[in-house]
Amino acid sequence: MAEIGKTTEVQRHGGVVILLLSLCLCASVVNPSFAKPQRIISLNLCTDQLVLLLAEPERIASVTWMARDPAISLMVDQAMSVPINYGRAEEVLRAQPDLVLAGRYTYAPTLAVLKRLNVTVTLFDLPNSIADVRAQIATAAALLDEPERGAALIADIDRRIARAGADVPAQRQVLGLRAPGGGTAGAGTLAHEVLLAAGYDNLADRLGISGFAALPLERLVMAMPDRLVAETAYGGLASLTTGMANHPVLDHVGRRIRLPSRLMMCAGPGIAAAAEHLADARR
Amino acid sequence: MTVLALEDVAVSLAGRPVLSSLSLRVGAGELVGLVGPNGAGKSTLLKAIAGLLPHQGRISLFGRAAIDARLRARRLAYLPQGGQVHWPLRAREVVALGRLPHRRTFARPTAADVAAVEDALARTQVAELADRRIDTLSGGERGRVLLARAVAGTPELLLADEPTAALDPRHQLHIMGLLAGLAGKGVAVIAVLHDLALAARACPRLLLLDRGRLVADGAPDAVLTPERLSTVYGLDGELRRIDDLPVLLARSGAM
Amino acid sequence: MMPRHGVSLVLGAAALLLGLVSLSTGVAPLPMGEAVAGIFEREPGPAALILRELRLPRALLALLVGATLGLSGAVLQGLMRNPLAEPGVTGISGMAALGAVLAFYFGLANVLPYAVPLGGIAGAFLGAWLLYRLGGPAGDVQTLILAGVAISSFAAAATAMALNLAPNPYAVIEIVFWLLGSVADRSLRDVALALPPIVVGVAVLATTARALDALSLGADVARSLGHDLAATRRRVIVGTALSVGAAVSVAGSIGFVGLVVPHLLRPLVGAEPGRLLLPSALGGAVLLTLADIVTRLLPPDRELKLGVMTALIGAPFFLVLALRQGRLAA
């Protein structure tokens, strides 16, 4: 009867454990963002790509249906193993995400609804430079809590682009870039930087064009670039601007390089693949 | 020479019989008045002769039982009631349309075509209206221009449906005189007329239609007897002659 | 007969002249001598390329399509005895666009290169037939307008739906081309596809001249003048379907040319429908080429669609004509 005041070791350890547990519990309730996001939704093709590259499939609630379209997506296989959404607010709400990524130009009414219902959406602009690409990958990696993966991806892209630009000749070939519908990418666009990095001069830049602008066929023909990228068949499906039938005059305008323009649209390894392909074409 | 022969002709429109058991002959140079009350089938008869309606029985034109449409068009002219002209054509252009059957597809009008048009304009006394637009002419003037169109085709058989309808008495007489002149030159003319007195005066022969049947065929006095006026027209009256000109004296409408 | 020939000669010369102006008009200043010299070479320089591959098809199409629309407008007006008739207003062009769209976007052109003009022709044929069934042989103003509205509305809606459901997602924005029309950036291939049906269709339409003249006096008199109206109607439908169908399949649905041109020429040439055919064809060529030149002279960053230009002129025209006709009928 004399030992009543003494605590046992188990009791003492148990007390510490309970204290620690309760601290952790408090921490997670008070600061939920410290935990890795477990239900990630992407509402934009470019953010789809980032999410699929950086996060495990189990943590992805859904990406857009476009990620499975081989004509525009670079990650079709990966997209097959996660659910897809059609960009609608209901789908987002039903999934109760803890992280939502979208593009600046994702369907505005959907974004408005989500905002009204207090769902936090992080918006990503279209990257306008290689620096933008690095920044977006880093931001996404931070949000997804995968900083090492993000850093590795950036390093890989940098390495590949550097290799592509290794042996640039003194006299660069002029490359004309024609998107479906007749547009081109001038100075201040991602495509422009990729072209330059791969060792070409951008025809649009030479013509004084900056940003995205229309390039009339006549001006393109008159300028006679050395190489031409003109996106043709959209997966073989007919359309006036992307169909099999590009205007016959383009057959005479510079040597064609077949390069899908979707490679240079998003922040991701696509730009490295594009730079490599372009560099190969000039060797 | 027989220009037109009908043998037991019947015509139905929308399932309803309009003409039945019609037999008659018309020779060259005859001026025939086709009379009868409303709904008797006069217009239908003209259309059937012109080949515009299907019919049972035989209609022989110019001695043939069957005739090519283009050939018929050169020898027969049809002038419907209340003729419309859909475009603001000049009178001369309207009359010139009458020469279409005689013109080869892409050929210019020949001297003969031009002469026929001028002749038709003169005969119908619309020469001074030749360059006027048809939509600016009065009803009567328009009627004469349309008749000129039919005349310009130099037909051997002229079918006219109420050619005097919108005309004042002077022009009515003039038109009937014109038709008589054509008959004198060998053209067979069948004219639907509403005015019995005018018909009796101008036409040596009348055909009286009643409810699709030919009830009388002969000289006006023989056709328009008081009995016929009563049974066919429901009129209590007679055809009188004043100064040798026929006048319709209608005392009342008998029921 | 001099006036008619005079007008046609003037219009023909104007069409030729405007064709040449069209060849000289464009975004890039073109050294003409160099361009013409290099035109037959196998590897032509840029100037000759632009002239041969870009400007020549454009000028040719403007002339061909314009002539088709002018002529078919004059013929339809003659047949329907109504100055409001023309392929756009009556919905025939719209149906042609629908046919071409169905053939093009659903892959038929991969199977058969001629599929798109054939689709346009089939669509135009259906449109003309529907118009005849709905509007009647001698439709009054209201019936014709209503039939045309019904057919055009259906055609536009069906075209929009087809483009929406097309496999290629770019299809949806291309609706502007099909509903408004354009001859920009067309190729010699397009000209080659459209030329045979247009030539045949125009020839067939030309043979209806006399029957249309006779129809001025009404159907009965026309028949008594020896014309087979059923055959005439068939020729109008077939000729219109071939020429308008092919034209729309390469240039989209351009409206109002067939309405405006015959109307403008009637005071000069006379109201006889047959007489209007050749001048209307030439006048249509002149009008459309002129409109196409104007679209290229306007502020360069946004080229106006050809159909917008013709609609700007033609729609008020149509309104005035319709009101005037309605007042006459009332």
What CATH number did the domain enclosing A67 receive?
3.40.50.1980
**Is the Cβ–Cβ distance between B5 and B25 less than 8 Å?**
yes
Q: What are phi and psi of C13, to 5 degrees?
A: -65, -40
Q: Taking CB atoms and an 8 Å cutoff, what residues of chain A touch C97?
A: none
Q: Does B92 touch chain C (CB under 8 A)?
A: no
Q: Would you state the pLDDT for residue A233?
A: 56
Same domain? A269 vs A205:
yes
Q: Is residue A147 part of a domain?
A: no
Residue C262 has pLDDT above 80, yes or no: yes
* Residue that terminates a domain, selected from A100, A125, A150: A125
Distance CA B209, CA B218 (A): 12
Q: Is residue A34 part of a domain?
A: no
- Interface contacts (A, C; CB < 8 Å): 81
* Domains contained in chain C, number: 1
**8 Å CB contact of A221 and C54:** yes
**8 Å CB contact of C220 and B94:** no
Percentage of chain C lying above the pLDDT 90 cut: 64
Cα separation values, C260 from B189, C81, C292, Å: 44, 16, 16
* Neighbour-count burial of A81, counting CB atoms closer than 10 A to its CB (0-12 exposed, 13-18 middle, 19+ buried): exposed
Give A222→chain C minimum CA distance, Å. Answer: 5
Q: Would you state the pLDDT for residue C37?
A: 84
Range of the domain at A229: 161-282
pLDDT digits (tens, 9 = 90+) for A247-282: 888 888 889 898 887 888 889 999 999 999 999 998
**Is the Cβ–Cβ distance between A239 and C105 less than 8 Å?**
yes
Strand order in the sheet with B31-35: B76-79, B157-161, B188-192, B31-35, B205-210, B213-218
Nearest residue, CB atoms, C27 vs list A180, A216, A252: A216
Residues 145-184 in C contacting A (C-alpha not used; CB under 8 Å): 166-171, 173-174, 177
Q: Would you state the pLDDT for residue A195?
A: 94
Residues 183-242 in C contacting B (C-alpha not used; CB under 8 Å): 207, 209-210, 213-218, 220-221, 223-228
Superfamily name and number for B2-62+156-253:
P-loop containing nucleotide triphosphate hydrolases (3.40.50.300)
Q: Would you state the pLDDT for residue C141?
A: 67
Nearest residue, CB atoms, C170 vs list A180, A214, A236: A180
**8 Å CB contact of C46 and A221:** yes
Would you report the helix, strand and coil content of chain C in percent, each value rounded to 5? Answer: 80, 0, 20
Q: What are phi and psi of C53, to 5 degrees?
A: -95, -25
Q: Which residues of chain A have pLDDT under 70?
A: 1-34, 232-238, 241-245
Residue C329 has pLDDT above 60, yes or no: no
Facing residues of B188 across strands?
Answer: B157
Say how far residue C37 (Cα) sits from the centre of its chain.
33
List the Cα angle C69/B87/B158 in 5-degree steps: 125
Give C224→chain B minimum CA distance, Å. Answer: 6
Same domain? A182 vs A235:
yes
Distance CA A135, CA A138 (A): 5
Of A85-94, C28-37, C181-190, give the lowest mean pLDDT range: C28-37
Same domain? A116 vs A165:
no
Same domain? A175 vs A265:
yes
Look up residue C43 and give its DSSP letter: S
**Is the Cβ–Cβ distance between C256 and C311 less than 8 Å?**
yes
Range of the domain at C163: 60-329
Q: In 10 A of CB B191, how many CB atoms?
A: 26
pLDDT digits (tens, 9 = 90+) for A27-55: 433 344 557 889 999 999 999 999 999 99
Distance CA C104, CA A239 (A): 8
Q: Would you state the pLDDT for residue A248?
A: 87
**Is the Cβ–Cβ distance between C96 and C251 less than 8 Å?**
no
pLDDT digits (tens, 9 = 90+) for C232-256: 999 999 999 999 999 999 999 998 9
* Residue that terminates a domain, selected from A76, A109, A125: A125
Same domain? A81 vs A169:
no
Cβ contacts of residue A205 below 8 Å, gap of 6+? A186, A187, A192
Give the helix ranges, DSSP H, for chain A: 9-30, 45-54, 76-80, 89-95, 108-116, 130-144, 147-164, 190-197, 203-206, 217-223, 270-282
Q: Is residue A16 part of a domain?
A: no
- Exposure of C222 in the CB half-sphere (CA atoms within 13 A): 26
Same domain? A202 vs A255:
yes
Q: Is residue C11 part of a domain?
A: no
**8 Å CB contact of C104 and A222:** no
* Domains contained in chain A, number: 2
Q: Is residue A13 part of a domain?
A: no
Q: Which residues of chain B have pLDDT under 70?
A: 254-255
Percentage of chain B lying above the pLDDT 90 cut: 76
- In chain B, where the domains are located: 2-62+156-253, 85-152
Q: Would you state the pLDDT for residue A5?
A: 44
Q: CATH number for the domain including C168?
A: 1.10.3470.10
Residue C211 has pLDDT above 50, yes or no: yes
pLDDT digits (tens, 9 = 90+) for C270-310: 999 999 999 999 999 999 999 999 998 887 666 788 988 89
Q: Is residue A30 part of a domain?
A: no
